[in-house]
Amino acid sequence: MKKVLFSATVDEHILSFHIPYIKWFKEQGYEVHVASKGKFKIPYVDNMVTYVITI
């Protein structure tokens, strides 16, 4: 199975700009992953990794 990873600093960015692309990849049979900071549930995602950036 093909896989795709979307990454962003915060979940809100994914939710605001990438949902149509994530949905398209799911419809094409891809396994979709997201890596971002936050606690929102993102639709169409198979696996979500939450991380914290400290400077």
Please give the pLDDT value at position 30: 98
Please give the pLDDT value at position 52: 77
Number of domains in the chain: 1
Please give the pLDDT value at position 41: 92
Any domain includes 40: yes
List, for residues 25-51, the tens digit of each pLDDT value. Answer: 999 999 999 999 988 999 999 999 988
Please give the pLDDT value at position 28: 98
Residue range of the domain that includes 24: 3-50
32 neighbors 22 (Cβ within 8 angstroms): yes
pLDDT at 54 over 90: no
DSSP string, 6-24: EEEEEHHHHHHHTHHHHHH
Any domain includes 55: no
Q: What is the phi/psi pair of residue 36, to 5°?
A: -165, 170
Any domain includes 23: yes
